[in-house]
Chain A
């Protein structure tokens, strides 16, 4: 079966844009990706749009109302924090199936500030938050991190080092929300939200959008492959039953299953991967995914962060964009923004944060509920 290629991919600088509408934000990234591909909306045969908070509001069609109502099919996707990656995967699959030669995937989100999650009162009853434990996202991921601490003795300091690293990376990424260094003491002494996650260990709620133009092999040969990126694998899983997942979402099992599928489809192993953008929604989560994605051995994640394996210049750089922790996490855009980041390295266009000689990269997102999406991308030229 022939491969699918990314011809154009872009993201806006993440930030807070209350004066813009969601379709306007999405339109910006869509036009940037089309320009990057040297194509127009008239060339696109279908649009796959990822947005979570306005999932019932036809965001994809409203993006076309901004940039060109060509009458193409539009599919709107919502899949928690895997929303953008799911839209990308649908765009990929349509080409893989032979239905189209050129598709557009857009992910966009406008976020409020503050905590996400937590049990509210439904009908009669009282809110259970703070009585039956906590369902806030910082707590859910703190507890997931404590499971690793329980097994392997991972420390608060090791979790905090993830944030130090990712904030450092973002100082080299002009599209990140923040470009500031956060030394270890600053991360550990920041306001405690849910132990062991301090405020600087929680992803930043920002507005953002990202988009990609996908293309069949036949069409890519016609248009030129010079800056094209090959999609070697796309995997999506939901959460299989695991013993504690009624009260403790299991982000590990669905990631491990998606990783196994993706590596098999791509015909590569974790050792072949030159850089990874993974779902660091909280600093604790990044530690878990080192092992879930096979970037280190079981129980080695603490050592990996201590010894700089995952820092830029290390043996497997992770989240050189700054990650969700510092670049920001606009839910529906995140999955395509990390595809933008990896593609930019494979094209050799990542400037100061370029991972030298990058040939294969992996992107990972996870949405609670749950959905895990992994893509493996490869340099062409």
Chain B
């Protein structure tokens, strides 16, 4: 199990973002052996088919297509706007929500269905103890 980063490295922003000690970070799904449903984060039972103990970790692809988006102009204090909130269908299964970066926040520029990929960066926020977090974004890919 090479899961956690060194004590000094950033922590994962969500439990399904995995930071191996060697190699690149990735998102991990839980795939149901019985019905094929893909979940984010560990769980005991499949809520699609009710299967128990049928879920196993499966790395998710870093490539996908933009399903839908919204351009967020009003958010909570401290959240920089505007930004693009998006839902991405990953190749091979799994749907993930995130920010779409590397593109103008303009409906004329964003095409639903366009190819995107995940990128990992240190988040611009720290927790109360000063810990850094690694987060994921989506960006257009050619």
List residues of A whose CB falls within 8 A of some B CB: 115, 118, 121, 124-134, 136, 138-139, 142-143, 146-147, 149-150, 156, 191-197, 241, 243-244, 246-248
Q: In the complex, which of the residues B13, B39, B80, B126 contacts A132, with contact meaning CB atoms closer than 8 Å? A: B13
Contacts of A133 in B (CB 8 A): 85-87, 97-99
Contact A134 B70 (CB under 8 A): yes
Q: How many A-B residue pairs have CB under 8 A?
A: 130
Which residue of chain B has its CB nearest to the CB of A194? B70
Q: In the complex, which of the residues A146, A194, A243, A246 contacts B72, with contact meaning CB atoms closer than 8 Å? A: A194
* Further pairs besides A126-B126, A132-B99, A138-B74: 7, Cβ < 8 Å: A118-B75, A121-B127, A125-B127, A131-B125, A133-B99, A150-B113, A195-B73
Q: In the complex, which of the residues A129, A191, A246 contacts B73, with contact meaning CB atoms closer than 8 Å? A: A191
Instruction: Kindly state whether residue B123 has any CB partner on chain A within 8 Å.
Output: yes
Contact A194 B74 (CB under 8 A): yes
Instruction: Kindly state whether residue B5 has any CB partner on chain A within 8 Å.
Output: no
Contacts of A195 in B (CB 8 A): 70-73, 107
- Minimum CB–CB distance for B62 against chain A, Å: 16
Q: Which parts of B31-74 form the interface with A (CB within 8 Å)?
A: 37, 39-40, 47-48, 67-74
Contact B71 A247 (CB under 8 A): no
Contact B14 A139 (CB under 8 A): no
Q: Which parts of B2-35 form the interface with A (CB within 8 Å)?
A: 11, 13-14
Q: Which residue of A150, A191, A196, A246 has the most chain B CB atoms within 10 A of its CB atom? A: A246
Contact B79 A129 (CB under 8 A): yes
Contact B133 A244 (CB under 8 A): no
- Minimum CB–CB distance for A118 against chain B, Å: 6
User: What's the interface size class on B, roughly?
Assistant: 35 or more
Q: In the complex, which of the residues B76, B89, B97, B133 contacts A125, with contact meaning CB atoms closer than 8 Å? A: B133
- Minimum CB–CB distance for A125 against chain B, Å: 6
Given A126-B123, A131-B123, also A150-B72 (CB < 8 A):
no
Contact A142 B37 (CB under 8 A): no
Contacts of A126 in B (CB 8 A): 13, 123, 125-127, 133
Contact A143 B13 (CB under 8 A): no
Contacts of B40 in A (CB 8 A): 246-247
For this complex, 11 residue pairs linking A to B, each with C-beta atoms less than 8 Å apart, are A115-B74, A121-B127, A130-B81, A134-B85, A142-B70, A146-B70, A150-B67, A193-B73, A195-B72, A243-B95, A244-B89
Contacts of B73 in A (CB 8 A): 191-195
- Minimum CB–CB distance for B111 against chain A, Å: 10
Q: Mark B90-130, 1 if CB is under 8 A from A, else 0.
A: 00000111110000000100001100000000010111010
Q: In the complex, which of the residues A124, A130, A246 contacts B80, with contact meaning CB atoms closer than 8 Å? A: A130
Which residue of chain A has its CB nearest to the CB of B35? A241
Given A130-B83, A241-B48, A247-B87, also A146-B97 (CB < 8 A):
no
* Complex Cα spacing A196 to B71, Å: 8
- Minimum CB–CB distance for A188 against chain B, Å: 13
* Complex Cα spacing A133 to B40, Å: 15
Contacts of B81 in A (CB 8 A): 130
Contact A247 B133 (CB under 8 A): no
- Minimum CB–CB distance for B103 against chain A, Å: 14
* Complex Cα spacing A194 to B76, Å: 13
Which residue of chain B has its CB nearest to the CB of A140? B70
- Minimum CB–CB distance for B38 against chain A, Å: 9
Instruction: Kindly state whether residue B135 has any CB partner on chain A within 8 Å.
Output: yes
* Complex Cα spacing A126 to B74, Å: 19
* Complex Cα spacing A121 to B71, Å: 22
Contact B71 A192 (CB under 8 A): yes
- Minimum CB–CB distance for A288 against chain B, Å: 12
* Complex Cα spacing A197 to B107, Å: 13
- Minimum CB–CB distance for A194 against chain B, Å: 5
Contact A134 B75 (CB under 8 A): yes
Contact B68 A248 (CB under 8 A): yes
* Complex Cα spacing A267 to B116, Å: 48
Contacts of A244 in B (CB 8 A): 67, 87, 89, 95
Q: In the complex, which of the residues B14, B48, B70, B89 contacts A143, with contact meaning CB atoms closer than 8 Å? A: B70
Contact A136 B72 (CB under 8 A): yes
Contacts of A129 in B (CB 8 A): 75-76, 79
Q: In the complex, which of the residues A132, A139, A150 contacts B70, with contact meaning CB atoms closer than 8 Å? A: A139
* Complex Cα spacing A156 to B106, Å: 13
Contacts of B96 in A (CB 8 A): 247
- Minimum CB–CB distance for A287 against chain B, Å: 14
Which residue of chain B has its CB nearest to the CB of A202? B74
- Minimum CB–CB distance for A158 against chain B, Å: 14
Which residue of chain A has its CB nearest to the CB of B126? A126
Contact A128 B68 (CB under 8 A): no
Contact B72 A139 (CB under 8 A): yes
Contacts of A241 in B (CB 8 A): 37, 47-48
* Complex Cα spacing A68 to B95, Å: 52
